[in-house]
Structure 1
Amino acid sequence: MKTIFYATDRTVNSAPALRYAYELSSRLGTQLVVFNTHKMEPIRVMVSRPPEQIEYHVIKEQKEILKSYCAKHLKGGLEGKNIIFHVVANDSVTAGIKENSKNLSADIVIIGRKDKHTDRGLFVGDIGKSLVENLSCPLLIVPNSGAKPISKILYATDFMEFDIEAIKKLVPIAEAMNAKVHLIHISTEKEYAGKEQMEWFKDMLQDQVEGENLNFKLIFSDTIDRELKNQVEQIGADLLVLLHREEKGFLNKMFHTSMVKKLEGHITIPLMSFNTLNL
């Protein structure tokens, strides 16, 4: 892992998420890209300079503003920190994040969680959903209030092969932070696929994933959001990880409007999503 990409709206309320992104990049030994999209004002016909020249100077100015914002909110300023700053002109926050995170070969994209203070509805709503479906790397959504360092990770699995691929990518991150990974499967009695599939999954996991800090748990419940909240609290998890698939899965249900509202109010830790298209 080489690059963490953090997209910010530069508000005061986003500062804790900035600090979280920096601390994570430091613990993982990666470069941090701090990114911002700027919506250009319409250029008047009468201006004397070419539009490209105007945009260049505007973006240069916005990059300096971004640097000042980070220097203000990061302990010790910017000296000695492995950070680069990237500002682009784009009317679409989603498109800006998607295109530039791919161009910069990001290993993780971090965005702040939507709250009442956040401009333009950033980030969970439509933007978060679109990024989950289209990013070429995992997405990490962080509460704008910040979060604790990661020592316990909760991964919700559906006993699928793609889960194994996601866990294979997650384990090195966990090991770098000496974090324990708790694997849980939540199912209703009616939907439960059977003990055979669970044993198959555990066997496959042991064959392909090395690491001692893995714990597995099966839970029966009719309310996924409530049970996830319970497990987060019981385990004391610092990060919740899920897998997005086109046809079904936890994250699809979570991004349903009603589910998002429930989780926004109940689950306050960072949320990371993997997409099967990128595994």
Structure 2
Amino acid sequence: MKKKIIEFIQTTENIEEATRALIALGNKLDKDLELVIVADPNITTTPTGMNPVPSMEEAKQFYEYIESKENKAQEVINNLKEMTRDIYINLKVQTGTLDYLVEQKSKEEDTYLIVLADDNYRNDFSIITFFEKFSQIAECPILRLPGNYHFKPFAKILYGSDYLEVDIPKLQKLTGIAAVFNADVTLLHVTNDIQAEEFDTIKVGKEILDKVDYKKLVVRTIQASDISNGINNYATENGYDLVAVLREKKDFFENLFNKSQAIEISKKSDKPVLMFHE
């Protein structure tokens, strides 16, 4: 069974670039594609301040609203037919809330990656809030594309790490993606005291390099007082195209008292963020 990349949209603000990114990833990674328009029954087209329209009329308006999004998405796919010559993209409309649909899709065996583009959601919907809620229960990686994103092949990829054993399989998957782009990958560790970590970086770095076995992977340690700022600043200053992070599993009290560095990185990053799950 061939794996697929799924992209979810609720509006079509940046649908062309989001679809272009989806197709480019599918072409490079040799995956089937699915573009899903989310028909959230909680969305209403009744103007603010007016009395709700009768249910039959409201249902009609909702149908027309979704149909307009589907037509726009199909138009974009048709306009990009040159890109889709060797790849099939399935356009679907699914009813339900975004978190429910993405959670269910993430658990399907043939789902390889889920893509979310910030521009393609309602203004009152926070992708960051969704990430925080969903990222602990997903069973596949999520790629978040920032607002007004224009896709280009990934040439430099940054992976933020605490040198955990669980990083190894994630890095193996990440370098599998990097290989098709011939991308450089940097494993970056942020510490308050770089002198204390210098020897460990060399030792742990060699162990990781041996286990991952990707020729364009390097290990770096930098000093910064804030981990998320350190990683994002390093990505910006050194021209990385993608930031990859591991979302830690935490219990209720850990979530209550300790912020997730993966979420903090995603909140502050102006780069695409690929989130793996522990």
User: Identity of paired residues, percent?
Assistant: 22
In structure 2, do the counterparts of structure 1 residues 25 and 234 end up closer, same or farther at CA, with 3 Å as the change threshold?
same
Indicate if the aligned counterparts of 1:242 and 1:251 stay in contact, CA closer than 8 A.
Answer: no
Alignment partner for residue 204 of structure 2, among 201, 205, 212? 201
Post-superposition offset of 1:61: 5.3
Aligned pairs (5 A) from 1:11-90: 11-40=12-41, 64-65=70-71, 67-71=73-77, 74=80, 76=82, 81-90=87-96
Deviates more, 1:121-130 or 1:180-189: 121-130
In structure 2, do the counterparts of structure 1 residues 228 and 244 end up closer, same or farther at CA, with 3 Å as the change threshold?
same
Indicate if the aligned counterparts of 2:114 and 2:143 stay in contact, CA closer than 8 A.
Answer: yes
Please state whether the residue corresponding to 2:103 is helix, strand or coil: helix
In structure 2, do the counterparts of structure 1 residues 97 and 197 end up closer, same or farther at CA, with 3 Å as the change threshold?
same
Post-superposition offset of 1:245: 0.8
Indicate yes or no: 2:229 matched with 1:226.
yes
State how far apart, in whole Å, the 2-side matches of 1:170 and 1:251 are. 24
Deviates more, 1:198-207 or 1:143-152: 198-207
State how far apart, in whole Å, the 2-side matches of 1:61 and 1:119 are. 17
State how far apart, in whole Å, the 2-side matches of 1:158 and 1:168 are. 16
Indicate yes or no: 2:191 matched with 1:187.
yes
- AA aligned opposite 1:171: T
How many positions carry a matched residue from both structures?
Answer: 258
Please state whether the residue corresponding to 1:150 is helix, strand or coil: coil
In structure 2, do the counterparts of structure 1 residues 225 and 75 end up closer, same or farther at CA, with 3 Å as the change threshold?
farther
Post-superposition offset of 1:153: 0.2
Please state whether the residue corresponding to 2:271 is helix, strand or coil: coil
State how far apart, in whole Å, the 2-side matches of 1:65 and 1:108 are. 25
Indicate yes or no: 2:166 matched with 1:158.
no
Post-superposition offset of 1:18: 2.1
Indicate if the aligned counterparts of 1:15 and 1:144 stay in contact, CA closer than 8 A.
Answer: no
Post-superposition offset of 1:207: 2.9
State how far apart, in whole Å, the 2-side matches of 1:73 and 1:98 are. 30
Deviation by residue 1:82-111 (Cα, 9 ceiling, x = unmatched): 211222111x21111111343362111110
Indicate yes or no: 2:79 matched with 1:103.
no
Indicate if the aligned counterparts of 1:34 and 1:86 stay in contact, CA closer than 8 A.
Answer: yes
State how far apart, in whole Å, the 2-side matches of 1:193 and 1:95 are. 45
Deviation by residue 1:205-255 (Cα, 9 ceiling, x = unmatched): 133211210111111110234322331133210000011112489981353
Post-superposition offset of 1:195: 5.0
Indicate yes or no: 2:274 matched with 1:272.
yes
In structure 2, do the counterparts of structure 1 residues 207 and 119 end up closer, same or farther at CA, with 3 Å as the change threshold?
same
State how far apart, in whole Å, the 1-side matches of 2:71 and 2:109 are. 21
State how far apart, in whole Å, the 2-side matches of 1:177 and 1:228 are. 22
Which residue in 2 is equivalent to 1:242? 245
Alignment partner for residue 172 of structure 1, among 161, 171, 176? 176
State how far apart, in whole Å, the 1-side matches of 2:83 and 2:206 are. 48
What TM-score do the two structures reach when normalised by structure 2? 0.78
Indicate if the aligned counterparts of 1:108 and 1:140 stay in contact, CA closer than 8 A.
Answer: yes
Post-superposition offset of 1:64: 4.8
Give me the CA root mean square deviation. Answer: 3.6
Tell me, which stretches of 5 or more residues in structure 1 are unaligned? Answer: none
State how far apart, in whole Å, the 1-side matches of 2:214 and 2:101 are. 37
State how far apart, in whole Å, the 1-side matches of 2:144 and 2:84 are. 24
What TM-score do the two structures reach when normalised by structure 1? 0.77
- AA aligned opposite 2:224: S
Please state whether the residue corresponding to 2:136 is helix, strand or coil: helix
Post-superposition offset of 1:79: 5.8
In structure 2, do the counterparts of structure 1 residues 180 and 77 end up closer, same or farther at CA, with 3 Å as the change threshold?
closer
